[in-house]
C-alpha cells in the first residue's frame, strides 16, 4: 500500500512537470504570412516577366543566348540587361501564357548594363516600379526570371546589403547596387527583383560564382533614369578625355611636398592620339589628383567626374608631373563607346 502510494505520488509529480512545460509556439502563422507575401508579389509581377532569346551572327558562326526582362509600360517597352541583348541580330520575347513577339532594340547602355527593347503589343500588364531609396536590409526580396531556360522561376530571400558598387563589362562602375541572397543563375539576368508589395526594386544582373548567396541587382531608381534616357535618345551621353589610367598610391614625401591629404591618384598610362587630353598636353606618367576642386583618388573617381554635364565644358585638372604641380584645362568630348 505504501509502495502504491509512492508510485501514485511519483506519477503525480511527473504529470505536474509535464503540465508545467509550456506548449511550443507554432511557426505556421509566420510561415503562412511569408508564403502569402511571396505568392501575392509573384501573382502581381509574373505576367510582366518575359523570356528573352537572342541570336548573334558573326562571319564565323551564329550564337544563341537567353535572359530575362520585364514589361514596364503597357505599350510594350521592356527593361533588361545590356549584356543580354548587346549585339543581337534577332530578339524574341515570350510570355508565360505562350505569346511570342519579335522585339527591337530601343537603346543599350553597357556602362550601366541596362537596355530597353520593345515589342509591338498594347494593353500589356506592366510591372510597377518602386523606389530603391525606400529599401532596407533584411526586407523580403523575390527574383523572377528564366535561369538556364527554366521559364518563370521564382526564388526568394532578403536584401543583404545596399549601396554596393559593381563594375560593368565596359569597365565603368555601377552605383546603387542591391545585394541579395535570392538565388540567381545564368538566365536570371534582366529579370525583376521584387519587394513584398509587388513593386520592382531592382534589375537582376550578376552573381558571384562559386559563392552562395552573393547576388546583385541594379537599383530601380538607376534603371528608371537610364530607361528614360534610352527611350528618348537611344543611349546615355557621357564625357570623354582620352586617357588610360590606373589608381596609384602617392608617396608620403610627395604628399607632404604638395600638402595633399589624399593617399592616391590616377596615374596616366597612355593618352589616346587626337583626344582632348592629348590636345591639352596631358602626358603619360602624369598623376591626376583633382578636377575643378574635386579630388581624384583613382580611376573610379575619374569615371564619376566624366558625366554628361562636363561635355564641351572646360575642366581644370590638377596633376603632378614628376614633382611639379600643374593645372591643365581639358575640354571633354562626348564619349562614343569609350571608357573614359
Residue-wise burial string across 294-313, b where 16 or more C-beta atoms lie within 10 A, e elsewhere: ebbbbbbbbbebbeeebbee
One domain, residues 39 and 157: yes
pLDDT of amino acid 9: 47
Domain of 91, CATH number, reads: 2.40.10.120
One domain, residues 224 and 244: no
Is the residue at 7 inside a domain? no
pLDDT of amino acid 145: 93
One domain, residues 253 and 204: no
One domain, residues 69 and 199: yes
Query: pLDDT for 2-30, tens place per residue?
Result: 444 444 444 444 445 544 556 566 666 76
Give dist(CA 101, CA 61) in Å, integer: 24
**Higher-confidence position of 9 and 202:** 202
Give dist(CA 173, CA 338) in Å, integer: 14
Q: How many domains does the chain have?
A: 2
One domain, residues 99 and 209: yes
Query: pLDDT for 72-92, tens place per residue?
Result: 999 999 999 999 999 899 999
Residue 160 cell numbers, joined: 543583404
One domain, residues 46 and 173: yes
- According to DSSP, the residues that pair with 91 across neighbouring strands are 54, 103
Is the residue at 202 inside a domain? yes
One domain, residues 282 and 176: no
Above 80 in pLDDT, residue 60? no
For residue 258, indicate whether it is catalytic.
no
One domain, residues 257 and 227: no
Q: What is the pTM of this model?
A: 0.76
233 within 8 A of 107, measured Cβ to Cβ: yes
Query: pLDDT for 127-136, tens place per residue?
Result: 999 998 899 9
Query: pLDDT for 104-126, tens place per residue?
Result: 999 999 888 999 999 999 999 99
For residue 113, indicate whether it is catalytic.
yes
Phi, psi of 258 (to 5 degrees): -105, 5
Examine the fold and report which residue of 216, 236, 256 is the final residue of a domain before the chain moves on. 236
**If we measure between CA atoms, which residue out of 261, 338, 253, 250 comes closest to residue 287?**
250
Give dist(CA 204, CA 56) in Å, integer: 22
* Candidates 66, 68, 83, 318; catalytic one: 83
Instruction: For residue 173, give Cα distances in angstroms to 35, 187, 195, 299.
Output: 36, 22, 25, 10
Q: Which of 48-52, 140-144, 234-238, 261-265 has the lowest mean pLDDT?
A: 234-238
One domain, residues 160 and 282: no
Above 90 in pLDDT, residue 63? no
Is the residue at 133 inside a domain? yes
Q: Which of 22-26, 192-196, 269-273 has the highest mean pLDDT?
A: 192-196
pLDDT of amino acid 186: 86
Is the residue at 188 inside a domain? yes
pLDDT of amino acid 75: 94
Examine the fold and report which residue of 236, 262, 287 is the final residue of a domain before the chain moves on. 236
Residue 54 cell numbers, joined: 537572342
* Candidates 108, 113, 286, 301; catalytic one: 113
Is the residue at 10 inside a domain? no
Domain of 247, CATH number, reads: 2.30.42.10
Q: How many CA atoms within 13 Å lie on the side-chain side of 258?
A: 21
Is the residue at 6 inside a domain? no
One domain, residues 168 and 46: yes
One domain, residues 182 and 299: no
Expressed in percent and rounded to 5, the helix, strand and coil fractions of the chain are 25, 40, 35
pLDDT of amino acid 207: 81
For residue 189, indicate whether it is catalytic.
yes
Query: pLDDT for 292-301, tens place per residue?
Result: 999 999 887 8
Is the residue at 72 inside a domain? yes
Examine the fold and report which residue of 188, 208, 236 is the final residue of a domain before the chain moves on. 236
Residue 238 cell numbers, joined: 557621357
Is the residue at 19 inside a domain? no
Task: Identify the residue whose cell numbers are 547602355.
Answer: 109
Average pLDDT, the chain: 87
**Higher-confidence position of 170 and 196:** 196
* Candidates 66, 189, 264, 275; catalytic one: 189
What do you get for the CA distance between the two ends of the chain, in Å? 98
Q: Give SS3 for 64.
A: strand
Range of the domain at 325: 239-334
pLDDT of amino acid 169: 78
pLDDT of amino acid 304: 82
One domain, residues 229 and 255: no
Amino acid at each position: 500500500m505504501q509502495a502504491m502510494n509512492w508510485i501514485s505520488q511519483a506519477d503525480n509529480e511527473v504529470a505536474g512537470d509535464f503540465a508545467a512545460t509550456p506548449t511550443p509556439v507554432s511557426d505556421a502563422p509566420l510561415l503562412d504570412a511569408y508564403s502569402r507575401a511571396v505568392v501575392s508579389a509573384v501573382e502581381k509581377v509574373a505576367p510582366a516577366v518575359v523570356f528573352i532569346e537572342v541570336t548573334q551572327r558573326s562571319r564565323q558562326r551564329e550564337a544563341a543566348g537567353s535572359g530575362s526582362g520585364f514589361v514596364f509600360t503597357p505599350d510594350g517597352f521592356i527593361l533588361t540587361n545590356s549584356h543580354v541583348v548587346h549585339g543581337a541580330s534577332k530578339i524574341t520575347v515570350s510570355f508565360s501564357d505562350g505569346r511570342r513577339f519579335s522585339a527591337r532594340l530601343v537603346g543599350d547602355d553597357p556602362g550601366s548594363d541596362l537596355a530597353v527593347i520593345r515589342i509591338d503589343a498594347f494593353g500589356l500588364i506592366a510591372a510597377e516600379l518602386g523606389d530603391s531609396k525606400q529599401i532596407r536590409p533584411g526586407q523580403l526580396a523575390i527574383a523572377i526570371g528564366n535561369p538556364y531556360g527554366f521559364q518563370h522561376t521564382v526564388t526568394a530571400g532578403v536584401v543583404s546589403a545596399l549601396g554596393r558598387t559593381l563594375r560593368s563589362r565596359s569597365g565603368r562602375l555601377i552605383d546603387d547596387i542591391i545585394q541579395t541572397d535570392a538565388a540567381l543563375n545564368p538566365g536570371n539576368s534582366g529579370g525583376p527583383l521584387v519587394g513584398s508589395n509587388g513593386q520592382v526594386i531592382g534589375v537582376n544582373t550578376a552573381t558571384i560564382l562559386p559563392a552562395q548567396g552573393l547576388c546583385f541587382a541594379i537599383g530601380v531608381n538607376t534603371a528608371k533614369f537610364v530607361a528614360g534616357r534610352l527611350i528618348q535618345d537611344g543611349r546615355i551621353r557621357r564625357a570623354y578625355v582620352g586617357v588610360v589610367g590606373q589608381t596609384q598610391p602617392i608617396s608620403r614625401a610627395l604628399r607632404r611636398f604638395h600638402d595633399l591629404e589624399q593617399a592616391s591618384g590616377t596615374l596616366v598610362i597612355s593618352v589616346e592620339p587626337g583626344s582632348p587630353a592629348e590636345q591639352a598636353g596631358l602626358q603619360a606618367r602624369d598623376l591626376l589628383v583633382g578636377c575643378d576642386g574635386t579630388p581624384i583618388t583613382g580611376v573610379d573617381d575619374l569615371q564619376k567626374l566624366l558625366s554628361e554635364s562636363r561635355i564641351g565644358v572646360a575642366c581644370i585638372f590638377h596633376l603632378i608631373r614628376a614633382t611639379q604641380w600643374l593645372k591643365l584645362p581639358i575640354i571633354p568630348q562626348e564619349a562614343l563607346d569609350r571608357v573614359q
